[in-house]
Chain A
Amino acid sequence: MASTYTPIATSTLSSASNLVTFNSISGTYTDLILISSVKPTTSGSGYINLQFNSDTSASYSRTYLNGNGSTASSGRNTGETGAYIYGNAIVASPSTFITQIQNYSNTTTYKTLLTRTNDTSNIVAAFVNLWRATSAITRIDINCVADTFASGSTFTLYGIKAA
């Protein structure tokens, strides 16, 4: 059997930034896994989203399940300009996000993402995001909206190749 689950690229911020990019992602794999450990520069201010192939159009939507320590809730948003993998401003430092990007390189289907979100000061959540494009994903921009990712934030992209 072929070994897989290969680290493709990693980024550890040495200074604050509102953008981390993984570019020129090859179509070698079947799925991608993005693991983000995020330290917000200003707690409770910034939001995280993903954009693919530099697409900033309103072609992203999400459905989510939240637990805030006392209540479970669900919601959805459409017409967004990025795939928000957390609906709230990031509080905990770090907050962690494990995002499964399934069949990212096929050119037949829209792309569906699954994320487990952990902001330990605030919320535990699960997100499913849709990017309404059939293009193969070759670039991922990880954006911090209304804040910056602080130094020490880490982002690692893995590839999984099916038999």
Chain B
Amino acid sequence: MWWARLLNSIAALYGTGAVASTTAYESIATVTVGSGGSSTITFSSIPNTYTHLQIRGIHRAGSSGTGATDVYLYYNGDTTNTHYYAHQLYGTGSSAGAGSANSPVNAMATVNNGATGSVFAACVVDILDFANNNKYKTLRTLSGVDTNNTNGFIELTSTLWSNTAAITDISITPANGTNWQQFSQFSLYGVK
């Protein structure tokens, strides 16, 4: 928009400023975990009016460990692990590594509940061309946590779902079988 460009130009002259504009990036739904915890976060009936999806969140899971742990991400209720394949590139704070699994276990990393109480992991998950029914689906993630001790973890992952169906439902589950903890929050966005 011409007025946004004009305001940007003016802002640039003064080194700062504020401009608002419309975008093709829309908020679809948010889940915030309450005091009882939740074993799975689910987004259902996702409209196919977008081209790509993004999930953004902060989260921690329920085991007593103090470091990072894995997360499963399933589509359309398909919990057969062998329908998924994941690769990861990660750093533990002391070494870098890479791995793979014939499951969606490396969809992202979260932090165990033994970490300092106010520490939450974060993630940004992109699911590309999710409504296209001619392609297998690919997810990519940047996620990690720093716990202010020796248990930091950062990873880049990619997960294939060997299915051409349009994605209509997504579930996100801690791999250690515990609950998402209170204040964990996942938000789903659509990109047109």
On whether the two chains bind one another, the answer is: yes
Assess A10 versus B27: contact at CB under 8 Å? Given A61-B146, A113-B122, A114-B124.
Answer: no
Question: What's the nearest-Cβ distance from chain B to residue A135, in Å?
Answer: 11
Question: Which residues does chain A contribute within 8 Å of B52, judged by CB atoms?
Answer: none
Question: Which residues does chain B contribute within 8 Å of A162, judged by CB atoms?
Answer: 27, 30, 56, 185, 187, 189
Chain A interfacial residues counted at CB < 8 A: 53
Q: B122 and A74: CB pair below 8 A? A: no
Pick the interface stretch among B77-85, B150-158, B161-169, B170-178: B150-158
Q: A74 and B19: CB pair below 8 A? A: no
Chain B residue nearest to A103 (CB atoms) is: B58
0/1 string, B1-44, CB within 8 A of A gives 1: 00010001001110111111111111111100000000000000
Chain B residue nearest to A10 (CB atoms) is: B11
Q: A74 and B148: CB pair below 8 A? A: no
Question: What's the nearest-Cβ distance from chain B to residue A52, in Å?
Answer: 15
Question: Which residues does chain A contribute within 8 Å of B92, judged by CB atoms?
Answer: 63, 74
Number of residue pairs A-B, CB distance < 8 angstroms: 187
Q: A163 and B16: CB pair below 8 A? A: no
Pick the interface stretch among A35-43, A65-73, A88-96: A65-73
Question: What's the nearest-Cβ distance from chain A to residue B52, in Å?
Answer: 13
Complex alpha-carbon distance, A7 and B132, angstroms: 30
Complex alpha-carbon distance, A11 and B57, angstroms: 27
Chain B residue nearest to A72 (CB atoms) is: B96
For the A-B complex with A6-B23, A128-B146, A130-B147 known, give 14 more contacts whose Cβ atoms are closer than 8 Å: A11-B11, A30-B56, A64-B91, A65-B96, A65-B155, A100-B142, A102-B122, A108-B118, A109-B58, A109-B183, A110-B118, A126-B154, A129-B146, A130-B119
